[in-house]
Amino acid sequence: MSNNRKCQVLVIGAGPGGYVAAIRSAQLGLNTIIVEGEKAGGVCLNVGCIPSKAIIHAAERYEALGKHSKEEGHMGITVLGNTEIEMKGIVEWKDGIVQRLTKGVETLVKNAGAELIHGWATFSSSKNCTVKTENGDINIEAENVIIATGSSHIDLPFMPCDEEFVLSSTGALSLEKLPKKVAIVGGGYIGLELGCALRKLGTEVTVVEGMDSILGIMDKEIRRPLEIWLKKNKVTVYTNALAKGAKIKGKGASRKVELTFEKDSEEQKITVDKILVTVGRSPNSKGWGVENMGIRMDTSGRFIRIDRQCRTSAPGVYAIGDVAGEPMLAHKASAQGEMVAEIISGEKREFDKVAIPAIVFTEPEIVSVGLTPDEAKEKGEEVIIGKFPLAANGRALTIEAEKTAGFIRVTARKEDHVILGIQAVGSHVAELHGEFILALEMGAQLEDISDTVHAHPTMTEAFHESVLKTLGHAIHTS
């Protein structure tokens, strides 16, 4: 037996975009229902951003202990005996963090006054859906709908993920045993983040990338320190190489998986314990009745078409996050969710961001905000560029952040010194991105940063110095 419900705001999906939209809607006094088919927090919290960063941190700790375990030690510190890995323990620790955060999201939604329904929604029209729950169907009629269905891992049709030998990123985050050898199909940020972590834990890693370079979203100069780290740490990288298939070899506990790929028109094979497939993500724009809602898709047919207020072609229906287009980033979804809730409540808002930060948590970390030098030039800008090495920063030396050949690079318009883009690469640089994005959103000029006192000794001084370098008078580098 089904029951009928009405609400002012119906949110589909409790990921970073959806739960923020629901909380903000409820805060504004709107009768809000949010529907989630799995766990609150979405991919990012459960099987993406958060768990991957937890495993990356564990790998860093293990690697650091390994340095102190050498005969001569490190920094005058020697750890006697061998450091050991229990992959199951790392995963349990990671799961504890995830569980705490998912419960936290549910509590936040409840405390804000929104109602969370666990089930799968199917729309029969733009503002009517049926939610299948464990306790029966619920029919919901909404005045406004916010679609925040997120995205899913892309499977290769000729090499589907079985999560035993061929893994998605989800499977890679739940390993019970550390594999000795792993092949990663796809040299984007997801594969490389997990690849760096696995290498630090002692796994032999091979990357197979179809394009002519890894991490193609970043320019050559900014990804160069990562390429150096991969080579130094004996990570094998094949570019212009296309995966062709996988085959299980052996029997019982000794079973392996053989990856076949094509490189330079020749077929090659490698045998590993696990294959990790990270060839991208696809928006969840099908399977829940979008065709019944009168919603137009974009020219690719993959994403829901929206305007600068995240409105779809159906009145009163909005789409946010991964399902609404690139960049497919959690923080973009959250910002859109908050904005849409305020628009529904009557506020005048639009999504008009100068830049959305992109961060890659490899070794070293990479941050990109705004335009690269080449992108600025392509837009017809005459620019000035400054680059400051982390090796010249005192704080970077004390935390060994300089060992990755990292730097901060600033691009500004020559005519008026307005900052157009900032990129950084190096250990711990992800935490600097806040100042970068704030500078762009506020339309800061180089002089705004150069005239701001930065605390010593901190990594932020490197940003200050990169701006001084752009102006032609850096203090701590020639």
Measured distance CA(55)–CA(178) in Å, rounded: 12
For 178, phi then psi, to 5°, come to -75, 120
Token digits of residue 273:
């314990």
Q: Are 367 and 429 in contact (CB under 8 A)?
A: yes
Amino acid at 228: I
Task: Give the β-pairing of 241-249 and 3-12.
Answer: unpaired
Residue 266 makes CB contacts below 8 A (sequence gap 6+) with: none
Which residue among the candidates 118, 417, 433, 456 is catalytic per the annotation? 456
Residue among 430, 441, 442, 435 nearest 464 (CA): 435
Measured distance CA(334)–CA(37) in Å, rounded: 19
Q: How far is CA 125 from CA 128, 292, 315, in A?
A: 5, 5, 12
Helices (H), 77-233: 87-112, 169-172, 189-200, 220-232
- 456 labelled catalytic: yes
User: Can you tell me whether residue 259 is helix, strand or coil?
Assistant: strand
Amino acid at 352: D
Measured distance CA(44)–CA(39) in Å, rounded: 11
Measured distance CA(381)–CA(169) in Å, rounded: 39
Whether the CA torsion 285, 287, 288, 294 is positive or negative: it is positive
Annotated catalytic sites, by residue? 456
